Amino acid sequence: MKNIVACLCFLIGAAKLIDKVIYWKNNKTLGLLNPIAFQDSYAARFPQKLQFLFTTTPEIATLIVILLFLISAILLWKEENKLFKGLALFSLFLAFWNAFALI
């Protein structure tokens, strides 16, 4: 059960990162010319109730992703399997990457 929760936390966090990277790749010109319009167009893709996470307080969304990666890393590190240990280290790497994005 812990493995399922850990993998879900990892996948949710990774999905947000992958989504942002793909959106950046498809709209790089807008992001470079007008970052505010880029952020607004990115947020408009989500349901109205979730848009505040990406427009008014994007730090909250980043903190949630960091928390998901940390939960995943802690739960996966307790396993004996080397694959899970590797995923835990990668999860920690992604958490720190997001932490530097807050700066």
CB 75 within 8 A of CB 19: no
Count of CA atoms in the C-beta half-sphere (13 A) of 102: 14
pLDDT band at 6 (very low <50, low <70, confident <90, very high): very high
CB 31 within 8 A of CB 42: no
* Tens of pLDDT, residues 13-61: 999 889 989 999 999 998 899 988 888 898 898 888 888 888 777 788 8
CA 5 to chain CA centroid, Å, is 16
So what's the pLDDT on residue 26? 93
So what's the pLDDT on residue 3? 86
What's the predicted TM-score (pTM) here?
Answer: 0.85
So what's the pLDDT on residue 57? 77
So what's the pLDDT on residue 31? 86
CB 38 within 8 A of CB 27: yes
